[in-house]
Amino acid sequence: MITIKLPDGGERTLEKGSTAGDLAKSISQGLARKAVGALINEEIRDLATPLNEQDKVKILTPDDSESYELLRHSTAHVMAQAVQRIFPHAKIAIGPTIQDGFYYDFEIPDHSLSTEDLQKIEEEMKKIVKEDQKLVRYNIPDVDKQLDEFRGQGEKFKAELLNEHRDHNPTLYLMQDKDGKTIWNDLCRGPHLPSTGVIKAFKLMKVSGSYWRGDEHREQLQRIYATAWWKEADLADYLHRLEEAERRDHRKLSKQLDLFTVHEEVGPGLIFWHPNLATVRATIEDFWRDEHRRRGYQFVFTPHIAHEKLYEISGHLENYAENMYASMEIDEEPYRVKPMNCPGHIMIYKSRLRSYRDLPLRFAELGTVYRYERSGVLHGMLRVRGFTQDDSHIFCRPDQLESEVGGILDLIEHLMSTFGYTYKAYLATRPEKSLGTTEEWEFATTALENALKSRKMDYEVEEGGGAFYAPKIDIKLFDAIGREWQGPTVQVDLNLPNRFDVTYIGDDGNRHKVVMVHRAVLGSMERFCGGLIEHYAGAFPTWLAPEQVAVLPIADRHQEYANEVVKQLQSKMLRVKFDDRAETINYRIRECQVEQVPYMLVIGDKEVENKTVAPRHRRQGNLSPMPLTEFIDLIETEIKEKK
RNA sequence: GCCGACGUAGCUCAGUGGUAGAGCAACGGUUUCGUAAACCGUAGGUCGUGGGUUCAAAUCCCACCGUCGGCUCCA
């Protein structure tokens, strides 16, 4: 007999050789019916896994979030089998689970998968689900024999993987029909559902290209992305979430709200900011400058091109050339468009001797840079070739590093919460390939970590996730619908101070290497504003809105007073839209609603007579009529509070 | 860059070998209206670009440009 520990702290005694499934049965018939797998010592396993003495076991049912792993992985196998039924010459590669679903890669000679194929494959998958095939784990007893079999079938990818995993107890998962006959198998470490019959709601989403092992020099494969859920309702929810994301797509909203364009005549990845979005950006930049002044930053400006010498010293030509634009000749000398602002800021630092008393120096610049991105990765405003970073470099003494990082984190938290983002920090430590000494890395990493701790910021350590020249804190943002965005970053640069020999004179009269911190809070104006559009779904809060208030006289006889209102609002620096076109009031209100103007002031007989305005808020609807001064107070307060 | 899809009026889209269409927007007129689309009319397109097939091409073929979805999440 063996004793098994249950999640509620209880124990259960079973016969030796019992499986997780047996345990479920011994607990209750209901649980056994619902069971799809087990969490054994914190690991997701098959229901058929034999248990050992003192195992901690939790039976997994569709109510447990861990069960999605099983569902999606098994559905991936169902899909692979379906694809091979329809395309017998298809060779299977890998099929892992991903966020909300899974994919599977195939090599299908002479056929490109289309949307119609996806439908056919889905139909075939439904059959396999109906057949209720058993998924059985099978230890490969003779690897060479199995390799021969895979090779005989032309399953070269499986053969390659098996050969690599030959010493790790490789397993197959057999898919068997009602009579226990194996009709399909896949090299897989599992775990899996007990059978395909429990699979309920799935949908094949899209086809795309991929490479075997992500290597562009190897076989080009076709990938099918899919999603799977325990209930149809959950699938519907998921599809609805995708629709919501699509509704918020900044490229789509840009057309509706006239925000930005890119032009074929100009080139891909180069953004034209139209007045509406430029207003948003300028407002953010003003805020950004204010917050930097408040924190002792100094603003600098640096040239957009520089002699190649600069990038030779910085090492960018050596390590970053593939992202830089080609050299141009000026007076027979080679110049480059700048891909980064750091070397420029170092030039300013090095323009004179710096004393320890001068430090810290905090140089900040909204610096525009140009980087080559492969054509296929460009994406609206989020991935572009020319962009403006809210860049800053802090030059400080080692004893100042921790408090400087603390100051940056304070700025980050202030800015991000103003925009309504929640966030989480990641501390990325030294990667395998890296510059610098162990002491430098330890010193810098500890300073970053201490700053996080003393601010009580929630963070996770990403071992080896740092840049080759710097440990860093990366902050991930979560937007209004819970999506994750790449956010602020703080890096302690262990490279450039050496390359440029950036020093200060210490109180001992000697030269010391400066500590250089590189940081961006918004990242780039392009990506940040693109993200904001989606975060707010185009409805910018009043302080950012391109047009903050619209004035709408009902009829011509109200124009004079309406004009008066417009003047008053403008004198308060409010961004006013005056719409006295001969359209119906309904029409003009609708247009403002579509344009997401926060406030509309309707002016009719009553308002003229009482010298009031009748405000309508884009979300709250009509507010009670009030004197203009009262409305100005209201909107000014809102703007001041950055709402 | 690679795989796949797509490119028709400012926008959203219809048109699959035989004279380019609709709605919205724009423009002109009428309407002067109380909280999400008044009415009538006008104009607007070398169908992404270039080449080819054909008596005839938005439509079929090729090349290029651009856009979109992917190409990291390891059996």
- Angle in degrees, 0-180, between the axes of helices A143-152 and A156-164, rounded to the nearest 10: 160
A588 touches A581 (CB < 8 A): yes
Q: How far apart are CA A81 and CA A124, in angstroms?
A: 9
User: Roughly how many angstroms between the first and final C-alpha of chain A, as a whole number?
Assistant: 65
Nucleotides of B under 7 A from a protein CB: 1-5, 11-12, 30-38, 65-75
**A592 is known as an active-site residue:** no
DSSP annotation string for A176-202: E-TTS-EEEEEE------SBGGG--EE
Q: Is the predicted pLDDT of residue A223 greater than 90, yes or no?
A: yes
Give yes or no: A397 in active site.
no
Count CA atoms closer than 13 A to A486's CA, side-chain side: 9
What does the alpha-carbon distance between residue A40 and residue A168 come to, in Å, rounded to a whole number?
Answer: 20
Minimum CA–C1' distance nucleotide for A582 = B32
CA of A308 to C1' of B54 (A): 56
Mean pLDDT, chain A, rounded, equals 93
Burial A43-80 (b: 16+ CB within 10 A, else e): ebbbbbbebeeebebbbbbbebebbbbbbbbbbbbbbb
Tokens representing residue A508 in the block = 């001992």
Active-site hit among A72, A73, A248, A518: A518
Residue A471: burial class (beta carbons within 10 Å; 0-12, 13-18, 19+):
buried
> CA of A456 and C1' of B55: distance in angstroms?
81
With beta carbons less than 8 A apart as the criterion, state whether A616 and A554 touch. Answer: no
Residue with tokens 């700048």, as numbered in its chain: A338
| Alpha-carbon torsion, ordered A311, A315, A318, A319, to 10 deg | -110
* A117 vs A369, residue with greater confidence: A369
pLDDT at A379: 92
Q: Residue A378, exposed/middle/buried by CB under 10 A (0-12, 13-18, 19+)? A: middle
pLDDT (mean) for A404-418: 96
Q: Is A620 marked active-site?
A: no
Ramachandran bin of A100, using left for φ above 0, alpha for ψ from -120 to 50, beta for the remaining angles: left
Catalytic residue selected from A84, A133, A342, A588: A342
Q: Quick one: average pLDDT of A475-493?
A: 92
Residue A446: pLDDT over 80: yes
Span CA (A206) to C1' (B6), Å? 15
Helix (H) or strand (E) holding A270, with range, is strand A267-273
**Model confidence band, residue A195 (pLDDT cutoffs 50, 70, 90):** very high
Across all strands, nucleotide nearest A615 (CA–C1'):
B35
Which segments of A331-400 are extended strands (E)?
333-337, 361-370, 386-396
- State how far the Cα of A198 lies from the Cα of A165, in Å rounded to an integer: 30
CA distance A275 to A504: 44
Asked whether the predicted pLDDT for residue A117 surpasses 90, the reply is no
Predicted pLDDT at A558:
95
Active site residue A342: yes
> Does A256 participate in catalysis according to the annotation?
no
Is A247 one of the annotated active-site residues of the chain?
Answer: no
CB burial string A579-589: b at 16+ within 10 A, e below? bbeeeebeebb
Q: How far is the CA of A527 from the C1' of B69 (A)?
A: 20
pLDDT of residue A9: 85
A206 is catalytic: no
Marked catalytic residue, from A362, A371, A527, A616: A371
| Nearest nucleotide by C1' position to the A552 CA atom | B35
Query: Is pLDDT above 80 for A411?
Result: yes
Model confidence over A39-95: pLDDT tens digits? 999 889 999 999 998 999 999 999 999 999 999 999 999 999 999 999 998 999 999
Report the share of chain A in percent with pLDDT over 90.
80
Query: pLDDT tens for residues A570-581?
Result: 999 999 999 999
Per-residue CA distances from A82 to A72, A119, A137, A384, A391 (Å): 15, 11, 20, 39, 51
What secondary structure letter does DSSP report for A619? Answer: T
- DSSP 3-state of A35: coil
Q: Which residue of the set A186, A391, A493, A580 is catalytic? A: A391
Helix axes A401-418, A275-294, angle to 10 degrees: 140
Give the tens place of pLDDT for each residue, A498-522. Answer: 999 999 999 999 999 999 999 999 9
The type of residue at A593 is: Q
Q: What is the pLDDT of residues A127-186, one digit of tens each?
A: 999 999 999 999 998 999 999 999 999 999 999 999 988 888 899 999 999 898 999 999
Q: Does residue A99 surpass a pLDDT of 90?
A: no
Kind and range of the H or E run holding A115: helix A115-131
Q: What average pLDDT does this structure show over A525-537?
A: 95
| CB neighbours of residue A631 within 10 Å | 22
Q: Which of A530, A538, A523 is nearest to A382 (CA)?
A: A530
> Does residue A191 have a cis bond before it (omega within 30 degrees)?
yes
Can you give the pLDDT at residue A114? 81
Contact indicator for A105, A223 with CB cutoff of 8 Å: yes
Å separating the CA of residue A374 from the C1' of nucleotide B54: 40
**DSSP secondary structure letters along A519-575:** EEEEEEHHHHHHHHHHHTTT---TTT-SS-EEEEESSGGGHHHHHHHHHHHHHTT--
- For A349-368, what is each residue's pLDDT tens digit? 999 999 999 999 999 999 99
Q: Nearest nucleotide by C1' from A93 CA?
A: B75
pLDDT tier for residue A302 given thresholds of 50, 70 and 90: very high
